[in-house]
Structure 1
Amino acid sequence: MKKRGGNKDSEEIIVKRRSKKGHDDEHGGAWKVAFADFTMAMMALFMVLWIVNPRQELHNPSNSDQDNNPVVDGGAGVFDGTSNTPLELDGLPPAPPRKTEQIRKQDGEAEAERQHYETPAQMQQLARLMEMVALKVDAMANVEIEVVPQGLRILIKDDQKRFMFPRGSADLDPHFRTLLRSLAEVLAKVDNKLIISGHTDAVPYRGKTGYNNWNLSGERALRARNVLVDAGLPPAGILQVAAQADVMPLLPEDPENGANRRIELLLLTTHAEELYRELFGNGSAQARYSNDGTEFVAPVRKSAL
């Protein structure tokens, strides 16, 4: 502020200075300060996360040694240190001991787990179990199960769309192979002896000379036996593999009907097995032939104790 002249009453001159703003002032350096603060904050956050992360890994069981892992056999947690099976939790059943079962089979202890079925009620229970197996593999139309005085009769047959064997052949269809394998898983746990029989219809076999329905039914029964054994059925559990040809049709009034073609599994009771052994074993009467003639051998009877 300046005064013009020396007169006190003279007018004062006020000079106002205004800053000149250009069109580039909005692009000044203020944003750089805000960006620097943001960058610093992010760096601080990353440093905190980097420091905290190793501590979490130290407390994470999935990153620790397997000996301390709760889901590894023999470790702490739901498995104890001496068992291969999980401990029982409230309200939850224990998981199946798969490793224990494998060890038992390798040690030959599976025989002790096999169960013997004797009464009609027990046979009926086994029949329901096999029906569930057939349902699982979509083979209910191919299986008939019946409790008979000799034990349990399992009839495996064709349906309207699927044939167990092609006509005149012993080549087993894959669907029936799957069915037999599934049944073998159940029969492998059963102690009763088994008879396998093959049946054909009465249509004469047209093929190579000397080969007929007897040969065909026997080969089919033997093929079924091999599939069952390969699937886990103990060979000693099979008492007989029989060829029946067309002598026992399901439809006697129509012996040439394809419904007569089948494989039958007969699970024997103890009494039926004893009768069978008496019929074909040492307990039956025998005729021995020699050059000196025929000798009749009376059956050996067990003495009462």
Structure 2
Amino acid sequence: MAGNGNAAPIIIKRKKVVGGGGHHGGAWKVAYADFVTAMMAFFLLMWLLGATTEKQRKGIADYFNPTIPINRVSGGGDGAFGGDSIFSDESFAFNGSGQAASTQGPDTKVGGDDGGSNQDKEEISKLQSALSGHGGESAQMKSMLSHVVTRVTDEGLVVELFDTEEAPLFDADSAAPTPLAMDLAKMIAEVFQASKNRIAIEAHVKAYPVMMVKNPSWSLSTDRAQVMRQLMEVAGTDKERIARVVGHSDRKPATSDPTALRNNRVEIILLRKNR
């Protein structure tokens, strides 16, 4: 027993093993995060494809194209948004070959020019100035002209009349003109009396929900164009000067939101002599 007291003590070491075997460490978390991010991107892409128009999708695609310069204010060219500013639904640059510019009086957009005769250009310019000059006659006239945008295009002088929340041109979802539409038609007919050029009338309407059983946009735009033709003729426009009356439905929205009220508009075009 005495001999056993000199024996070395037995020491038991418990070694804790730390390894990457438990669920493969944290690598699975990184892979899962990548998967979730990819799925979010996929569903966002699917939502964009279903919620945007062809024009909007092209604008988004062009925005990420580094070869196209992006300016805060649109110049009316064929850049990322085809001449439309992404910062305002109330300012509309003309989608044409020229630079957009505005002047006093009714908002004026100047588009491309096909090099028509100087006489033709001067006549259109005088009519545009005459239309702008109506703004100083009275407060009522200024209010009327807040519904007017003019621009010069390859076709001629375009006078665009559009709805606002406070004062539409036609009763809701109908072709019944309001007193505002009648007054504007009379004013434009008087200004256009100074020219013998032919006239085109084109109407546009906002987009209606796709789930509607009967979409009225085609018939409504056509009816409104016809009503504006009748108002112009009653105001003194020679019916022989009317070259065409067209309804565009909701196919050419003026804003990024196709359902916006601003898309309800009528364009009265004083055509160039060679048109």
TM, length-normalised to structure 2 = 0.52
Q: Is the 8 A contact 2:151 2:159 kept in 1?
A: yes
Could you tell me which residue of structure 2 aligns to residue 201 of structure 1?
206
Could you tell me which residue of structure 1 aligns to residue 217 of structure 2?
213
Could you tell me which residue of structure 2 aligns to residue 178 of structure 1?
183
- In the TM superposition, residue 224 of structure 1 has moved relative to its aligned partner by 0.6
What amino acid sits opposite 1:259 in the alignment? Answer: R
Q: Is the 8 A contact 2:127 2:192 kept in 1?
A: no
Matched, 1:153 2:158: yes
Take 1:222 and 1:134, find their aligned partners in 2: how far apart are those partners?
27
Question: Closer, same or farther in 2 for the Cα pair 1:187/1:205, shift >3 Å?
Answer: farther
Question: Closer, same or farther in 2 for the Cα pair 1:117/1:131, shift >3 Å?
Answer: farther
Structure 2 residue corresponding to 1:260, chosen from 254, 259, 263:
263
Q: How does 1:109-128 map to 2 (within 5 A)?
A: 118-128=119-129
Q: Is the 8 A contact 2:233 2:239 kept in 1?
A: yes
- In the TM superposition, residue 128 of structure 1 has moved relative to its aligned partner by 1.1
Matched, 1:269 2:272: yes
Take 1:217 and 1:134, find their aligned partners in 2: how far apart are those partners?
28
Could you tell me which residue of structure 1 aligns to residue 194 of structure 2?
189
Take 1:250 and 1:118, find their aligned partners in 2: how far apart are those partners?
31
Take 2:122 and 2:233, find their aligned partners in 1: how far apart are those partners?
27
- Partner of 2:270, secondary structure, is strand
- Partner of 1:146, secondary structure, is strand
TM, length-normalised to structure 1 = 0.47
Structure 1, unmatched stretches of 5+, are 1-115, 274-305
Matched, 1:232 2:236: yes
Question: Closer, same or farther in 2 for the Cα pair 1:146/1:195, shift >3 Å?
Answer: same
- In the TM superposition, residue 118 of structure 1 has moved relative to its aligned partner by 4.9
Take 2:147 and 2:120, find their aligned partners in 1: how far apart are those partners?
26
Q: Is the 8 A contact 1:117 1:192 kept in 2?
A: no
Take 1:216 and 1:187, find their aligned partners in 2: how far apart are those partners?
26
- In the TM superposition, residue 182 of structure 1 has moved relative to its aligned partner by 1.6
Q: Is the 8 A contact 1:143 1:157 kept in 2?
A: yes
CA deviations over 1:204-262 (Å, ceiling 9, x no partner):
4998x7562000001111111101101100000100010101111111x2111111110
- In the TM superposition, residue 159 of structure 1 has moved relative to its aligned partner by 2.7
Could you tell me which residue of structure 2 aligns to residue 241 of structure 1?
245
Structure 2, unmatched stretches of 5+, are 1-116
Quick one: higher RCO (CA 8 Å, sep 6+), 1 or 2?
A: 2
Q: Is the 8 A contact 2:165 2:261 kept in 1?
A: no
Question: Closer, same or farther in 2 for the Cα pair 1:160/1:234, shift >3 Å?
Answer: same
- Partner of 1:177, secondary structure, is helix
Q: Is the 8 A contact 1:118 1:151 kept in 2?
A: no
Q: Is the 8 A contact 1:118 1:269 kept in 2?
A: no
Could you tell me which residue of structure 1 aligns to residue 172 of structure 2?
167
Question: Closer, same or farther in 2 for the Cα pair 1:222/1:125, shift >3 Å?
Answer: same
Take 1:220 and 1:161, find their aligned partners in 2: how far apart are those partners?
19
Take 1:249 and 1:144, find their aligned partners in 2: how far apart are those partners?
15
Could you tell me which residue of structure 2 aligns to residue 132 of structure 1?
133
What amino acid sits opposite 2:188 in the alignment? Answer: L
Question: Closer, same or farther in 2 for the Cα pair 1:124/1:245, shift >3 Å?
Answer: same
Take 1:242 and 1:135, find their aligned partners in 2: how far apart are those partners?
32
Q: Is the 8 A contact 1:164 1:173 kept in 2?
A: yes
- Partner of 1:270, secondary structure, is coil
CA deviations over 1:60-114 (Å, ceiling 9, x no partner):
xxxxxxxxxxxxxxxxxxxxxxxxxxxxxxxxxxxxxxxxxxxxxxxxxxxxxxx
Q: Is the 8 A contact 1:218 1:244 kept in 2?
A: yes
Question: Closer, same or farther in 2 for the Cα pair 1:219/1:197, shift >3 Å?
Answer: same
- Partner of 1:131, secondary structure, is helix
Identity over aligned residues, as a percent? 25
Who wins on radius of gyration, i.e. which is larger? 1
